[in-house]
Structure 1
Amino acid sequence: MDAFDVKILDCLQHSGRMSNVEMAESIHLSPPQCLRRVRALEEKGVIRRYAALVSPSQVGLNVMAFVALSLDRDQFRRVREVEKVIMSFPEIIECFTISGDFDYLLKVVGRDLKSLSQFLTDRLMQVPGVAGVRSMICLEEVKPLAPLPVDLNNL
């Protein structure tokens, strides 16, 4: 990657709807060169996908929680099965394996506290292999998803 690739990533992270011509103009490349570089970044997996960032509260998802999940050590051979189930729940919008006292950290959304509680109790905690969960309700989103700080010094 070079400085142009970093500029492309910056443009796309801040304004994913920017046209190729606008981006090429802003980073001082020809539109064909810019498009070629974007496609190369996509093929290499640097750009994973394109998406719109939707406001949760505007679509009725008024509660967000971080849920620490631990697996039953005797069932650890089922870890990939548990992950498939976790990935199938639309309420879980992010999932990370973590070190420490828990095995996963989940970001979960719900309409309200009652629906969140029902999801945790009736669905997530019923997944075979799940030993325990600890939820932390998000009171306020201070810094929503932000662009990655990509620069040449990190590469």
Structure 2
Amino acid sequence: MFRGHSYRSLDPKGRLMLPPEYREEVLSRVEDGRIMLTNNFDGAVTGYPMDVWVQVEASFAEGNKLDPRIRDLERFLISGAMEVTLDKQGRILVPPYLRTYAQLDKDLVLAGVGEKFEIWNQTKFEERRRQVGLRIDADLAALADLGVKIKL
């Protein structure tokens, strides 16, 4: 699992050094270090180890293609996806269009989110966390009203 967050930097060529625990997680799942990067819904880039990405694509194959929302979601995620591979130094190259999409510049945050990780513009990440912190009680109450059970 990918957990925690760390402050990182992009090098001038657009490469990102993954922390050792993320590299180990990727390599424990996929020997050749392949990762699928794609745009996500929050204005960041999401990295999936290939075994997890295969499950994401399979879930679209099961979806109702007559529903335009499913087609739009599939188009958004899959057309934005690019396979990258860890290099010998533990870096991945973030493609230019994904750097543009997520406004990734030199200062980044790498955030673990279970079976995937996210790459954020540092300013956007910190603002998002601040906003979530301001509304956390209301969000938890609303989820409880819906019957959603989360162990904290």
Whichever structure has more strand as a proportion of its residues is 2
TM-score, normalised relative to structure 1: 0.22
TM-score, normalised relative to structure 2: 0.23
Bigger radius of gyration among the two: 1
